[in-house]
């Protein structure tokens, strides 16, 4: 996709002559500059983006107008790339591929009549879909590992001591985070990923909330609600049984208490 090919420029010239909103942007580069600048009225940018989405959905010079959308939203999509690269720990080209596929799918199906902010909907929706796909693949991988382990156990009996394989520290941490997530899921439900993002991956409420399409205040409220449920559960369940439910993370709530206290103090200051 490019806005500099002869075909893309012809398509843009036709659009420029017939769309009054483009009167101030004679060249596609000037439109991209306006869309990516911090200055400029957001409702004007949203109107231009909405028009481009409609053109893509109609199939009109789709490649040229997808390129304009992609470049016009590049600052936001670049932030999505960097956040997803850190969280997914996949090769950069795999992350780019996932973002491109999710973005294209969202542009094709988004219902503009139900969208208030086009830019935010496309950027945050792309990140949401990428992470949903990643979580789904993680679940599938865990299931394959469980089935493979069972198959190996049925096929052979160990003849010597079972030595744990070497695992890099980074992967070990991520494996522990995933194990904790799996153990917390029945206890904190739909808020589990937010709890993990904020308390273990050290994301702030704005960053964690953006991954799930939530405002910072809403993300904070859901995390606090989940932690309150955990504390109530600890009071109701005998300590030994509660700790067995969260495995070797018996100190998790103590960690939570200290972390939330520090956050409250810093936010209050």
pLDDT at position 246 over 50: no
Please say whether the beta carbons of 194 and 226 come within 8 A: yes
Please say whether the beta carbons of 61 and 67 come within 8 A: no
Provide the 3-class DSSP secondary structure of residue 250: coil
| Per-position b or e across 67-82, b if 16+ CB within 10 A of its CB | bbbbbbbeebbeebbe
Burial of 126 (0-12, 13-18, 19+ CB in 10 A): buried
pLDDT of 202 reads: 67
Q: What pLDDT, in 10s, does the model give residues 73-128?
A: 999 999 899 888 888 878 899 999 999 999 999 999 999 988 888 998 999 899 98
Task: Calculate the CA 168 to chain-centre distance.
Answer: 25
What percent helix, strand, coil does the chain show, rounded to 5? 80, 0, 20
Q: What pLDDT, in 10s, does the model give residues 147-200?
A: 665 555 555 545 444 344 444 444 455 666 677 777 777 778 888 888 888 876
Provide the 3-class DSSP secondary structure of residue 21: helix
Domain ranges across the chain: 6-127, 172-269
Measured distance CA(265)–CA(269) in Å, rounded: 6
Residue 77 to residues 49, 71, 148, 173, 239, Cα–Cα distance (Å): 14, 9, 37, 28, 45
CB atoms within 10 A of CB 264: 10
Residue 126 to residues 54, 136, 154, 250, Cα–Cα distance (Å): 17, 15, 42, 36
Measured distance CA(48)–CA(39) in Å, rounded: 15
Q: What pLDDT, in 10s, does the model give residues 17-61?
A: 999 999 999 999 999 999 999 888 989 999 999 999 999 998 876
């Amino acid at each position: 996709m490019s806005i500099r090919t002869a075909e893309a420029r012809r398509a843009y010239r036709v659009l420029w002559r017939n769309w009054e909103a483009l009167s101030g942007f004679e060249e596609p580069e000037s439109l991209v500059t306006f869309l990516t600048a911090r200055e400029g009225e957001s409702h004007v940018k949203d109107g231009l983006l909405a028009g481009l989405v409609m053109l893509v959905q109609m199939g009109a010079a789709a490649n040229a107008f997808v390129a304009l959308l992609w470049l016009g939203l590049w600052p936001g999509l670049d932030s999505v790339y960097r956040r997803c690269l850190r969280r997914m720990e996949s090769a950069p080209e795999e992350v780019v591929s996932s973002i491109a596929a999710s973005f294209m799918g969202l542009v094709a199906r988004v219902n503009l009549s139900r969208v208030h902010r086009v830019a935010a909907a496309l950027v945050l929706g792309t990140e949401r879909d990428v992470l949903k796909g990643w979580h789904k693949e993680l679940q599938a991988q865990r299931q394959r590992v469980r089935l493979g382990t069972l198959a190996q156990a049925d096929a052979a009996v160990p003849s010597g001591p079972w030595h744990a394989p070497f695992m890099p520290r980074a992967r070990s941490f991520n494996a522990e985070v995933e194990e904790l997530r799996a153990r917390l899921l029945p206890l904190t439900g739909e808020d589990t990923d937010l709890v993990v993002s904020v308390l273990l991956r050290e994301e702030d409420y704005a960053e964690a909330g953006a991954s799930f399409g939530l405002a910072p205040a809403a993300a904070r409220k859901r995390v606090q609600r989940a932690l309150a449920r955990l504390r109530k559960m600890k009071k109701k369940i005998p300590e030994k049984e509660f700790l067995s439910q969260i495995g070797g993370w018996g100190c998790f709530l103590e960690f939570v208490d200290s972390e939330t206290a520090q956050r409250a103090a810093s936010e209050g200051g």
